[in-house]
Amino acid sequence: MISVIVLGTGNVGTHLINAFLKAKNVKLLQVYSRKKTSLKFIEAKVSSTSKLEELKEADVYIVAISDDAISDFSIQLKIKNKLVVHTSGSVAMQALKTNAHKGVFYPLQTFSKKNHVDFRNVPICLETENENDLIVLEKVASAISKNVYFIDSNQRKYLHVAAVFTNNFVNHIYKIGFDICKKHDIPFETLHPLILETASKVVQNNPNNIQTGPAHRKDKKTIASHLALLSGDEKNIYNILTESIEKTYGEKL
């Protein structure tokens, strides 16, 4: 059975640990955190350590720490002939400074410690230096998720940008809707079903085919009346997105 050690007990690390504890075809051998107190939650379930020199020998070492720390941390790992992977969407595989084999094991989901995540549905994007390692890493990923993809470092850069749009930027747009409602004593709940339906539609359709609204139908009258209600950033963002939608669908007509 493939053995795995998870290094890091932040959001991603914690969710990975819980997923591997339930996995059948992979053994979670050990958990590392530099802070001893961060290991309390796991002590009864699996071997753990806060000292790098106590790391056991495993097939795969999953470094689940913050992006900026990956390079410096990986230098300290005295591992050879094994596979060391990081979990970051925005860091290149070669940022790992180690004599071990290198790879990436990037779970593409927004994690917070308190929210339950069903890892079976989390896409895991894999990359390795050589094919044999990819076979091993695919087995590890498949043990916890049914959605495994091979994404190289160049693709992953773009995937990360796309994720910023569809997660961070979408949430900021939600926030604008929330603020408008709040300011005018409208319950934000009135928009909840629309938000869920919009998200649900895009996982079944090409977003180009389901665009609607005043900008899409070039309804200048409604656009002008909306702009009259807005100011500051909200108005700027309304303008730039409206222009972009008009341009996108104008060219196609």
Q: How far is the CB of 82 from a copy of itself (least distance, A)?
A: 27
Q: How far is the CB of 104 from a copy of itself (least distance, A)?
A: 13
Residue 71 contacts a copy of itself per CB under 8 A:
no
Residue 69 contacts a copy of itself per CB under 8 A:
no
Residue 94 contacts a copy of itself per CB under 8 A:
no
Cα 20 to Cα 28, 42, 173, 183, 194: the distances in Å are: 6, 12, 35, 45, 36
Q: Which is nearer to a copy of itself, 30 or 87 (CB)?
A: 87
Q: CB count, 10 Å around CB of 19?
A: 21
Residue 14 contacts a copy of itself per CB under 8 A:
no
And the tokens for 251? 């060219």
Residue 198 contacts a copy of itself per CB under 8 A:
yes
Q: How far is the CB of 91 from a copy of itself (least distance, A)?
A: 10
Burial class (CB in 10 A: 0-12, 13-18, 19+), 139: middle
Strand partners, 127: 104
Stretch that binds a copy of itself, among 43-51, 77-85, 131-139, 231-239 (CB under 8 A): 231-239
Site string for a copy of itself, 123-162 (x = CB under 8 A): x-x---------------------x-x-x--xx-xxxxxx
Asked if residue 104 lies in contact with residue 84, where contact means CB atoms within 8 angstroms, the answer is no
166 alpha-carbon distance from chain centroid: 11
